[in-house]
Amino acid sequence: MAKYKTKQFVKLDYELLDNEMWQGLSRPGQQAYIYFKRARNKRSRGKVINHDNGYIKFGYSDCPGMAKHTFVDAIMELRVNGFIQLIKAGQFPNIKAVYALIGKWREYSNSGTH
């Protein structure tokens, strides 16, 4: 193991953290979003997945410690508030859904409605 190995982290911009849409999300919604960001550069068998086309394969197993109904509610909250967009539906439990991180939450917070 390298002596100065860089620790892994998830970047959350100040613009996001200070935004009313982010602050209005439930704690599970915020956690799910962070796990989405984490899943972007996830490695599987030595290959980086979820990186090249901007889409993220994401499922219940990617949010450890979250109950299934809480996960479903968090995903719906992120979709409704413009944080993610469903690209292709999955099939529980084996096939993950495909999502894209989007920035519509910026528009919603500026207009005051969504």
Q: Look at residue 43 in the predicted model and tell me its pLDDT.
A: 57
Which one, of 101, 43, 32, lies nearest residue 70 by Cα? 32
77 falls within a domain: yes
13 falls within a domain: no
| Exposure b/e, 93-102, CB count within 10 A at least 16 = b | eeebbbbebe
46 falls within a domain: yes
Q: Look at residue 112 in the predicted model and tell me its pLDDT.
A: 56
4 falls within a domain: no
Does residue 41 register a pLDDT over 50?
A: yes
Whether 41 and 56 have beta carbons less than 8 Å apart is answered as no
11 falls within a domain: no
In sequence order, what are the beta bridge partners of 58? 97
Q: What is the CATH number of the domain that holds 80?
A: 1.10.10
- Give the domain range for residue 77: 25-111
Over pLDDT 90: what percentage of the chain? 39
Q: How many whole angstroms separate alpha carbon 42 and alpha carbon 17? A: 23
Number of structural domains found in the chain: 1
Does residue 46 register a pLDDT over 80?
A: no
11-15-20 Cα angle (round to 5): 115
